Amino acid sequence: MSSVAATATHPLTNMTTNLPLHTISVLVRNQPGVLVRVALVFARRGYNIESLVVSADPTSAEFSRMTITCSGDPDTLEQIIKQVAKLVDVVRAIDHTGQAVVETEIALIKIKAGLAERTEILQLAEHYKAKVVDCSATSLILRVTGASEKLDSFITLLRPFGLVELVRSGKILMTRGPEAT
């Protein structure tokens, strides 16, 4: 199993990490308690889940897809994936690290924005293809989508203006090619 080293600065804590970053997709039966059982496998091994996105499969109400992003030791993660795959309601669990995938994330960013700063903030928003979704006399809410690195960069540039609030969806992905993710 290959891994990609993530040497990135976390946008909220400004902490730098050198741990491998992994994105795992888990197809599960849409049953109560499945999310808790999957999360417990990670917790028992001391793995922190950095983002978790769960949505029902639109083609079948019987299944849901989980996209889990975490960082840590690849060997431990391999064991975690094997344990998750053995859970009763799990159909499959795959680590997509190193695979050809299309991935995206969305963020809502509330920022202090007086009249003096608006032009510069709006220029940054235009460059990052962010959309203004709310505007008041003292703040803006921006919506930006794209790769996690793009969002990290945009947030870093906005930080000096004064972040009021930040909400990120977590990464979603789909493998390239004809096979299902």
Q: Is there a single domain that holds both residue 113 and residue 72? A: no
Q: Is there a single domain that holds both residue 13 and residue 57? A: yes
Residue 59 has a pLDDT of 84
CA separation, residue 152 to residues 126, 134, 163 (Å): 16, 21, 13
- What is the residue range of 15's domain? 4-99
Tell me the pLDDT tens digit for each residue of 86-133: 999 999 999 998 889 999 999 999 999 988 899 999 999 999 999 999
Higher pLDDT, 2 or 120: 120
Residue 4 pLDDT more than 90? no
The domain tally of the chain equals: 2
Whole-prediction pTM value? 0.79
Instruction: Name the domain boundary from 64, 99, 134.
Output: 99
Q: Is there a single domain that holds both residue 30 and residue 69? A: yes
Instruction: Name the domain boundary from 99, 133, 164.
Output: 99
Straight-line distance from the first to the last Cα atom of the chain, in angstroms, rounded to the nearest whole number: 17
Q: Is there a single domain that holds both residue 118 and residue 158? A: yes
